[in-house]
Structure 1
Amino acid sequence: MSGTLKIYNGTLICPHRCIKEGTLIIKDGKIVELGSKNVEVEADALQIDAQGNFIAPGFIDIHVHGGGGCDFMDGEIDDFLTIAETHARYGTTAMTPTTLTSEKEGLVKVLSNYEKASVKNLKGARFLGMHLEGPYFSLNQRGAQDPKFIRNPDPKEYKEIIERFGKSIARWSAAPELPGALAFGRYLRDHGILAAFAHTDADYDAIVAAFENGYTLATHFYSAMSGVFRKNAYRYAGVIESTYLIDEIDVEVIADGRHLPAALLKLVYKIKGPDRIALITDAMRGAATTASETILGDKKNGITVIIEDEVAQLPDRSAFAGSIATTNRLVKNMVHMAEIPLVEAVRMQTYTPARIMGWERLKGSLAVGKDADVVVFDNNVDVRYTIVEGKLVYQKV
Structure 2
Amino acid sequence: MKTCIYNGILMDGIHKTQPGGLIIEDGRIQSITTDTKSLPSCDIMLDAKGQYICPGLIDTHTHGIGGYDFNDIAKLSLREVAKQEAKEGVTGFLASLVCETHEDMKQLLTYYEEQEVDGFFGIHLEGPYLNRQQKAVMKEECLRDPMLEEFKEYLHISSKIKSMTIAPELPDAMELIRYGTAHGVVMMLGHSAGTAQDVLAAEKAGAKGITHLYNAMSQHAHRAPGIVTGAVLSKLMCELIVDGVHVHPDIVQATYKMIGAERIVLISDANPCKQLPKGEYLFSGKHVLVDKDKAIVKESGRIAGSTLRLCDALRNMCTYCGCQKETAIAMASAHPAALYGWKKGRLEVGYDADIMIMDEQFQVHQVLRQGIQIQ
What's the offset of the Cα at 1:308? 2.2
In 2 relative to 1, CA 267–206 (structure 1 residues): closer, same or farther, beyond 3 Å?
same
TM-score (norm 2): 0.95
- Determine whether 1:369 maps to 2:361: no
Counterpart code for 1:243:
A
Aligned residue runs from structure 1 range 158-197, under 5 A = 158-165=151-158, 167-197=159-189
CA RMSD of aligned residues (A): 1.7
Paired with 1:19 and 1:347, the residues of 2 have a C-alpha distance of: 12
* Letter of the 1:131 counterpart: H
1:276 aligns to 2:263 (yes or no): yes
Q: CA deviation at 1:78?
A: 4.2
Task: Tell me, yes or no, if the aligned pair for 1:197 and 1:217 is still in contact at 8 Å.
Answer: yes
Q: 1:154 aligns with which of 147, 158, 173?
A: 147
Residue 239 of structure 1 aligns with which residue?
A: 227
Deviating beyond 4 angstroms after TM superposition, the runs of 4 or more aligned structure 1 residues are none
* Residues 76, 113 of structure 1: 8 Å contact kept: no
Aligned ranges for residues 122-133 of structure 1 at < 5 Å?
A: 122=118, 126-133=119-126
**Mapped contact 1:67–1:86 kept (Cα < 8 A):** yes
Q: Secondary structure at the match of 1:95?
A: strand
1:387 aligns with 2:368: yes
| Structure 1 position 18, deviation (Å) | 4.6
Aligned counterpart in structure 2 of residue 351 of structure 1, from 329, 334, 337:
334
Rounded Cα–Cα distance in structure 2 between residues aligned with 1:216 and 1:138? 19
> SS of 2:151's equivalent?
helix
**Unaligned segments of structure 2, at least 5 residues:** none
**Residues 302-333 of structure 1: per-residue CA shift (max 9 Å, x gap):** 22101124121111453211011121111111
Contact 2:56 2:91 survives alignment (8 Å): yes
**For residue 334 of structure 1, what is the aligned residue in structure 2?**
317
Find the counterpart in structure 2 of residue 261 from structure 1. Answer: 248
Contact persistence 2:109–2:154 (CA under 8 A): no
Superposed CA offset, 1:345-365 (max 9, x none): 001011011111111xx2010
Q: Secondary structure at the match of 1:22?
A: strand
> Contact conserved, 2:57 with 2:92, CA < 8 A, in 1?
yes
User: Which amino acid in structure 1 is aligned with residue 314 of structure 2?
Assistant: V
Once the 2 structures are TM-superposed, how far is the Cα of residue 17 of structure 1 from its aligned partner?
Answer: 4.6
Structure 1 residues 206-225: aligned runs within 5 Å: 206-225=198-217
How far residue 110 of structure 1 moved from its aligned partner, in angstroms, is: 2.1
Q: Flag structure 1 segments of 5+ consecutive residues without an equivalent.
A: none
Distance 1:255 1:87 in 2: 17
Shift of 1:21: 3.1
- In structure 1, the residue matched to 2:86 is 88
How far, CA to CA, are the matches of 1:108 and 1:191 in structure 2?
Answer: 18
2: CA distance, partners of 1:8 / 1:229: 51
Take 2:46 and 2:278, find their aligned partners in 1: how far apart are those partners? 34
Pick aligned residue for 1:307 from 256, 280, 290 = 290
Counterpart contact for 2:168–2:198, Cα < 8 Å: yes
Q: For the Cα contact (< 8 Å) 1:306–1:315, is it kept in 2? A: yes
Distance 2:51 2:287 in 1: 40
- Match of 2:329, SS state, is helix
CA distances 1:151-171 after superposition (whole Å, capped 9, x unpaired): 111223112111221x21111
Deviation track 1:183-241 (CA, whole Å, cap 9, x = no partner) reads 111111121111111100001222222222222210000000101458xxxx2211101
In the TM superposition, 1:97-136 aligns within 5 A as 97-118=95-116, 121-122=117-118, 126-136=119-129
CA distance in 1, matches of 2:226, 2:346: 34
Cα distance per residue 1:235-255 (max 9 Å; x no partner): 221110111011x21101011
Give the Cα–Cα distance (whole angstroms) in 1 for the partners of residues 104 and 167 of structure 2: 20
CA distance in 1, matches of 2:276, 2:256: 30
SS of 1:380's equivalent in the other structure is: coil
Q: 2:34 maps to what in 1? A: 36
Residue pair 2:95, 2:120 contacting (<8 A) in 1 also: yes
Give, as a single letter, the amino acid of the residue that structure 2 aligns with 1:169: I
Query: Once the 2 structures are TM-superposed, how far is the Cα of residue 288 of structure 1 from its aligned partner?
Result: 2.0
SS in 2 for 1:107: helix
Question: What is the aligned-residue identity percentage?
Answer: 30
Q: Which amino acid aligns with 2:191?
A: H
* Pairwise CA distance, 1:291: 3.9
CA contact (8 A) 2:287 2:299 kept: no
Query: Structure 1 residues 218-227 or 206-215, which shifts more?
Result: 206-215
Quick one: distance in 1 between partners of 2:84 and 2:12?
26
Pairwise CA distance, 1:177? 0.5
Matched with 1:226 is 218
Whether the 8 Å contact between 2:62 and 2:268 is mirrored in structure 1 is: yes
Cα drift, residue 24 of structure 1: 1.4
In the alignment, structure 1 residue 145 sits paired with structure 2 residue 128: no
The 1:162–1:16 alpha-carbon spacing in structure 2 relative to 1, beyond 3 Å, is: closer
